[in-house]
Amino acid sequence: MITNSMYKFVLLIVLAAFIGCSSSDEPNKQKETAGQNKSEPSTPAGYVKQASFTDFDGSSVPISKFQGKVVMIDFWETWCKPCIASFPTLEKLQKEYSENFVVLAVTPGFTDTQQDAQTFASNHDYSFTYLMDANNLHQKLGVRSIPYKVFVDPEGNLIKESRGSYGPEEDYKQIKKIIEKHKKS
């Protein structure tokens, strides 16, 4: 039979062993970042600011090309019904705010190939800038499902990230609010 004081002693030993065996990742993170190039981003905002995609011709398209406009990076694929369902709303907003807003329809390549995206683009009359995520921004941001939208202000700063869709009307209202708040006058 274990006495109360013996129980406390065993509990104290187990607790001390647990605390002594746990480790913090902080020293390792400091070592890892100390050796990295200082121009390498390490935050979602940094990844977005330096984002670059590939167009269907294989040319690099940096996000900075769209500086001066509110940018929405829309991660999508051809099989994603909510992604495709949001396209008419995005097209409407892009036309309404043509001087202030651009949609980058970016295929992360979960299952779609460039050919899949290119075929979709040629068969639909959307004026988006279609791109491939050749530099894996979606992985850096931890995107695991689509639709996934990333909003960037006219200076290239991350505004917000958004997963899913709230339906055409609510998506329209929410995106319009972001454009109005961040567009250049």
R_g of the chain computed on alpha carbons: 23
Please give the pLDDT value at position 179. Answer: 97
Q: What span, in angstroms and rounded, lies between the C-alpha atoms of 56 and 53?
A: 10
Closest of 182, 168, 47 to residue 102, by C-alpha: 182
pLDDT greater than 60 at residue 35? no
Arithmetic mean of pLDDT, 146-167: 94
SS3 174: helix
Q: Predicted confidence band at 41 (pLDDT cuts at 50, 70, 90)?
A: confident
Only one residue has tokens 């567009």, namely 183
| Domains of the chain, CATH where assigned | 44-182 (3.40.30.10)
The answer to pTM > 0.85 is no
Q: What is the pLDDT of residue 8?
A: 60
User: φ, ψ for residue 27 (rounded to 5)?
Assistant: -60, -40
The C-alpha torsion from 54 through 58 and 60 to 61, rounded to 10°, is -50
Q: Provide the mean pLDDT of the chain.
A: 84
Write the pLDDT tens digit of every residue in 103-149. 999 999 999 999 999 999 999 999 999 999 999 999 999 999 999 99
